[in-house]
Amino acid sequence: MKRKWIIATTAACVLFGTSVMAFASNPIKLMINGTEHYTEVSPQIMNGRIMVPLSVISNVFGKETTYDKNAKNVNIKDIQGKIIAESESGEMKITANQGEYGIYEQLTLVTTNFSRSLRGGYNVVNPSYAPEIISADVNGDGKDEIVIILTTGYGTGVYQSEVRVLEGDTGIEIHTEDALSVFRKQFSKGQATAKGIEFDLNKQHMVIADAEVGAENKETTQEIGLGGIIKYEVENNILKATTAVPRFLSDYIGELQVQYVFKDDLLQGGTATFIGYED
């Protein structure tokens, strides 16, 4: 069966600006980046102005809102130290500050023995893409490491993730080679031709016959590059990464997969292999 890469079709998670549009209808709809946002209390027109519940706007921009009725103050502040992920045992948690652009920032791993800031870490706020915390012996030292998989962006044709690997007893980070860099070193010269999808992988030329491509490219060729889909997973104590090989746009003929090996004090990507999808 052909494996599908499920990509969210909503706006990209890392938002670079949020526009709010309210249409004069009954009830007034609240639109955020073109998508309707449902609220318990609809926006209202008062004295010629459109009034939107403050709690809704605060949530969009990652703020916490409270009202002090005695002082008659509306207080807005950043959401800090929020627990956004937990291990199965509950002994490890990831806390973060909710930012203003659809991301969690300043991620921190908290365990019963230590707390460690996750270097450069951020994660999208969509709970469907919460960070994963995995215990596994991925470096072969006989002790479990802590593997953290972050989702840093998603959208149509995009799924971006990052991985952090820490020593289980100390929290010291084990340097891990970036998967996209690994794939780009080994994959080159991708193009769609009348023969199908052609590319070089580890200096071996591969041709994946594809009738759809042939019909579209009888006289011209189309360059094929690795897209923005990177996924990490741990299976049987082995850290793996995959990326999709496109046919057109968000349609794919297969994927590249690499397994990590521990060598010279770092987790290095091994030799990438191509796994084709069956029709």
Closest CA to 260 of 274, 275, 249, 271: 271
Task: Give the confidence band of 240 by pLDDT, cuts at 50, 70, 90.
Answer: very high
Kindly tell me if the per-residue pLDDT of 269 is higher than 80. Answer: yes
Best mean pLDDT range from 24-28, 78-82, 92-96, 203-207: 92-96
149-153, 194-198, 240-244: lowest mean pLDDT where? 194-198
Residue 78 has pLDDT above 50, yes or no: yes
Q: Is 84 left (phi over 0), alpha (psi -120 to 50) or beta?
A: alpha
Q: How confident is the model at residue 225 (pLDDT cuts 50, 70, 90)?
A: confident
Span 122-146, pLDDT tens digits? 999 888 899 999 999 999 999 999 9
Q: What are the domain boundaries of the chain? A: 20-77, 80-169, 179-276
Encoding tokens for residue 201?
A: 């992988």
Looking at residue 26, its pLDDT comes to 64
Provide the 10 A C-beta neighbour count for residue 2: 10
* pLDDT, position 9: 33
Alpha carbon distance 84, 171 (integer Å): 19
pLDDT in the model for residue 72: 85
Per-residue confidence (pLDDT) for residue 6, from 0 to 100? 42
Show the 3-state SS of the chain.
CCCCCCCCCCCCCCCCCCCEEECCCCCCCEEECCEEECCCCCCEEECCEEECCHHHHHHHCCEEEEEECCCCEEEEEEEEEEEEEECCCCCCEEEEEECCCCEEEEEEEECCCCEEECCCCCEECCHHHCCEEEEECCCCCCCCEEEEEEEEEEECCEEEEEEEEEECCCCCEECECCHHHHHHHHEEEEEEECCEEEEEECCEEEEEECHHHHHHCCCCCEECCCCEEEEEEEECCEEEEEEEEEEECCEEEEEEEEEEEEECCEEEECCCEEEECCC
For residue 59, give both structure tokens: 């949530």
pLDDT bucket at 2, cuts 50 / 70 / 90: very low
Assigned token pair, 251: 């349609």
Query: What is the pLDDT, as a whole number, of residue 216?
Result: 55
> Residue 24: what pLDDT?
41
pTM of the full structure: 0.72
At CA 53, angle to CA 51 and CA 57, rounded to 5? 105
Cα-Cα end-to-end distance for the chain: 7
**Residue range 99-125, pLDDT digits in tens:** 766 789 999 999 999 999 998 889 998
- Residue 279 has a pLDDT of 61
What's the pLDDT band for 166 if we cut at 50, 70, 90? very high
Task: Tell me what pLDDT residue 167 has.
Answer: 96
Alpha-carbon separation of residue 182 from 23, 177, 178, 240 (angstroms): 48, 7, 6, 12
CB 124, CB 155: distance < 8 Å: no
What average pLDDT does the structure give for the chain? 82
